Each structure stands twice: as C-alpha cells, then as structure tokens.
Amino acid sequence: MPQEKKTQGQLLEEQLLRAPKNGAEVLSDGEIAKADEFCEGYKAFLKYAKTEREAVIQTVKILKEHGYVSFDPDKKYAPGDKVYYNNRNKALCFATIGTRSMKEGIRLVASHIDSPRVDLKPNPLYEDAEIGYFKTHYYGGIRKYQWTAIPLSLHGVIVKKGGEAVTVSVGDEPGEPVFSITDLLPHLSKDQDARKLGDGVRGEELNIVIGSRPFRDDKASQKVKLAIAKLLFDKYGVVENDFQSADLQAVPAFEPRDVGFDRSLIGAYGQDDKVCAYTSLMAAIEAPAPEYTHVTVLADKEEVGSPGATGMGSDYFVYFISDLAKPYGIEGRTVLTNTKCLSADVNCAFDPSFPDVAERRNIAYANYGTVLTKYTGARGKSGCNEATAEFMGFVRDLFDGEGVLWQTGEIGKVDQGGGGTVAVEVSKHNADVVDIGVPVLSMHAPFELVSKIDTYMTYRAFKAFLK
C-alpha cells in the first residue's frame, strides 16, 4: 500500500510545533542497551557512595585509575594533564587541562554529593525504658514520616581525643545489624493521625533504636546505654565524649535496585544528586584532550543552602580555577567571566499520582531525557539564577547536534513551592550557568526513582559539553 500523503496541517505541525518524545519509543535498541549498561556502573558506585565522604573516596579511586594526580598549586600544567583537589574529604574539584588558553574560559560542571539524611546530635547516646537510642537532627529537606520504620545504616567518622579519626560504616553489608526509627502502631495513632502530615512525625521523635540489652551489673545506673558504650569502645575505641567530635549520619540501608518489570527505573537512596555526580564524573574521565579546560566540582552542603567551607558558596572552586590559570599569567576572574557552566542537579519528574502540584506543559517527564531547567527559585523566581536566552540557545544547539535526548522542566506550579541549586553560587562569579540533570520521582525520600534512559542522556549531555 502506498504511504498516505501528509496533509498540509500535519506538515506544518512537524515544522512549527514542539513534539516531546519518550526515549523508550524513539531511541534505538542499541542506545537503550547502552543506557542499561551504563546504569550498572552507576548502581555499583552509588552502593558505596551514600554520604559525601564516601562519594569522595569512591571518586578519588576512579580518578586515580584514570591518571589524575593530586593538584599542586605551584605547578604549571600542560594540555592533557589531569588533577584533583580534595577539600576536607567532603568535596572535590578535578580538571583536565585543555588546548585553548584559559583566558577564553573553561567548561565547568558542578553537582553535589550530600543528600538529605538523619545526623546524630553531639550528645546522641541515651536510654529510655531500657531501650538504647541515638538523638538526631535531620539534615536537609526531608518528609520526616518517611524515615520511620525502615532499616537505617550508620556512616561517618569519629575523631577521638588526640585527633585520631575512626571510620564508621554499619548496616550496609550482609550480616551487619541495622538501626531504625520507630513509629506508632495504627491501633494507637488516633492523636497522631490528627496532626498535619508535615507534623506527623516531629524532629525530636526521630530517635534511632540502637540496642536493648542491659549491662549485667546491679550497681550500674544506665545499663543499656552502658552496654552499648562498651560495644562501641571494644569495636572503635571511642568513649561517649568522642561523639562530640564526629560526623555521623543515618541513611537508608537500601541497595540500589532496578524498579519495574521492565527494569527501566533505578530505585536508591541519595540519587539527588549523586546521579549527576556520577554522570559528570564518567563524562570527564572519558574526555582525554579537550579544547577547553574542564573542571568538575562535586560539592557538599547543597541540601542546606551551600554554606560552609565545603559548600559551593565557599571559594574553594574559585581558588582551584585561579591556581590553574595563575602560572599562565591569567586571572581567575578572567577565566570565570568567560566560563560556561552546567549546574548539574536533579529536577522533579511528573508524578501522575499527584498531578495537582504540576503544570503539565512545563514539568519534566521520566524517560523524556535529561532536563534543562532555565530557572529554579520559588514564588516569582525568587533566589534563582536564570540562564540567559543566549546560553539556553547555545546548550540547545549543542545537545541537538550531538543527538542528546533532552527536555525542559520547571519544578511545579508557580505558587506551589520551589527549590534551588548551586547555580546561584557559580553565577556570582559572572559565569554563564544553566541547571541540568535527571528527573526524579519521590525526590528526597529514602528511596528515590530515576529513569535509566534519563541518567544515560544526562551523561551524554555532559560528554557533549566537555568535547
């Protein structure tokens, strides 16, 4: 049968109107297989990178395997040289020197490796009714009720008197114990059910169960607490006061898993924003001799507004860039002024179970590719870096030219809420910045979902940018 001729309306539609595409429908089988394979590496990375410190350890290992060396600010580096700078074991910058002068700017990709979680307080250890607990103070934007009645693992470092640091990781290896925050049984939740959801479980109710057997000695007073303190002393050599100099974080004790009969999604803790950290890392290590020097930043503290020495509000990445350029007689500010930056962070994906918060024409959809976010912010774009039309145009042409599947995304309805990223911190230095990343379902929950196609396309987007 001969192909039916397209009508004038159909032809005009093709020419003039936007036509978003589901990657699972339009990509070749080979491309989808590549996406699935790429995500195996991602899941393996994420399994051992639940906290920013662990993400730094995993990343440095990969960087060293690919020829990166520790950065020496007194050295002049040549095209093709690869260096990294480890900021306090909580944030990283790494670079590959390009062939062009840094005067023409660099390519910067910045993501964050901290994720919402439940931190221990400085005096966390106590017992109540002969059950041992840790007191906590949650970190970042969590919906507190989601963190009860699930297995938790404990990660971090304790610095003992005298300065020796002990690394702690309990609950993620098979055979290790886990921890948990309790919640009420439905039989007795009448009063709790009447609370507003945001107040359903309160900060001071996020107490982690860590044991229940008392120390056998009639004269001791807090016998469960004492028994746990003894276990901790025997295992780590720490005493109660050592918790005061510790970074200890409780995170979900889940492994990254495929989700769905078709395995099209990944479910895991901490994908915001390690999905962008991993994709940008892979793109960077595979770009051997770039034209423009490229710098990748994996920042800490984004989930609490990017403060602190390891957050993107700190100047460490500016110093790093300035120190790279200094031996060539180029000022850091000249480099930054001409820099193009992708602020790599997740955005929300449309959730058909909760359609009311979304504006369907502008929200991102799972499987529709990496998401470019022109602006973030809340209530009238407050606090956002908005990418210019010119820079959006540059990125669009770049991605289209390289066959990257991409979409635009706005976090939700105009007056519904909003969010921010590290984009603002980079734009302060007069660089062009746009947000890009993977659409996420259940963002900030203990188990977040992303599409494998979107993850792969985000990596492809970074590859195109660093070419």
| Residues of the shown chain interacting with Mn ion in the complex, contacts defined by CB under 5 A | 272-273, 345
Helix (H, G, I), strand (E, B) or coil at 428: coil
Residue 467 corresponds to which amino acid? Answer: K
Give the per-residue SS3 of 173-236. Answer: CCCCCCEEECCCCHHHCHHHHHCCHHHCCCHHHCCEEEECCCCCCCCCCCHHHHHHHHHHHHHH
Q: For residues 132 and 256, which CB has a smaller minimum distance to Mn ion in the complex?
A: 256
Least distance from Mn ion to the Cβ atom of residue 310, Å:
15
Least distance from Mn ion to the Cβ atom of residue 442, Å:
12
Cα(96)–Cα(466) distance, rounded to whole angstroms?
10
Q: For residues 300 and 345, which CB has a smaller minimum distance to Mn ion in the complex?
A: 345
Least distance from Mn ion to the Cβ atom of residue 299, Å:
10
Least distance from Mn ion to the Cβ atom of residue 200, Å:
21
Give the Cβ contact number of residue 439 at 10 Å. 27
Please spell the DSSP secondary structure of 334-374, one letter per residue. HHHHT-EEEEE--EEBP-TTSGGG--TTTSB-TTS-EEEES
Q: Which two tokens stand for residue 2?
A: 């001969």
Q: For residues 141 and 327, which CB has a smaller minimum distance to Mn ion in the complex?
A: 141
Least distance from Mn ion to the Cβ atom of residue 302, Å:
6
**Ramachandran category for residue 132: left, alpha or beta (phi over 0 → left; psi -120 to 50 → alpha):** beta
Q: Which two tokens stand for residue 235?
A: 């295992």
Cα(177)–Cα(110) distance, rounded to whole angstroms?
35
Least distance from Mn ion to the Cβ atom of residue 314, Å:
17
Cα(92)–Cα(64) distance, rounded to whole angstroms?
13
Q: CB of 242 within 8 A of CB of 405?
A: no
Q: For residues 136 and 271, which CB has a smaller minimum distance to Mn ion in the complex?
A: 271
Least distance from Mn ion to the Cβ atom of residue 186, Å:
31
Least distance from Mn ion to the Cβ atom of residue 401, Å:
27
**Rg value, the chain, Cα:** 24
Beta pairing, strands 418-419 & 347-348: unpaired
Q: For residues 119 and 272, which CB has a smaller minimum distance to Mn ion in the complex?
A: 272
Least distance from Mn ion to the Cβ atom of residue 112, Å:
6
Least distance from Mn ion to the Cβ atom of residue 341, Å:
16
**Ramachandran category for residue 280: left, alpha or beta (phi over 0 → left; psi -120 to 50 → alpha):** alpha
Least distance from Mn ion to the Cβ atom of residue 464, Å:
22
Q: Which two tokens stand for residue 377?
A: 């912010």
Nearest Cα to Cα of residue 229 among 241, 218, 219, 217: 241
ω into 273 cis (within 30 of 0): yes
List the beta bridge partners of residue 217.
none
Q: CB of 172 within 8 A of CB of 262?
A: no
Q: For residues 54 and 345, which CB has a smaller minimum distance to Mn ion in the complex?
A: 345
37 to each of 44, 45, 62, 174, how far by Cα in Å? 11, 13, 18, 25
Q: For residues 272 and 300, which CB has a smaller minimum distance to Mn ion in the complex?
A: 272
What's the sign of the alpha-carbon dihedral 265, 270, 275, 278?
A: negative
Q: For residues 32 and 304, which CB has a smaller minimum distance to Mn ion in the complex?
A: 304
Please spell the DSSP secondary structure of 128-185, one letter per residue. ETTEEEEEEEEESS--GGGGSSS-EEEEEEEEPTTS-EEEEEESSSTT---BEE----
In Å, how far from its chain's centre is CA 395?
22
Q: Which residue sits closest to Mn ion, CB atoms considered?
A: 273
Q: For residues 272 and 454, which CB has a smaller minimum distance to Mn ion in the complex?
A: 272
Least distance from Mn ion to the Cβ atom of residue 344, Å:
9
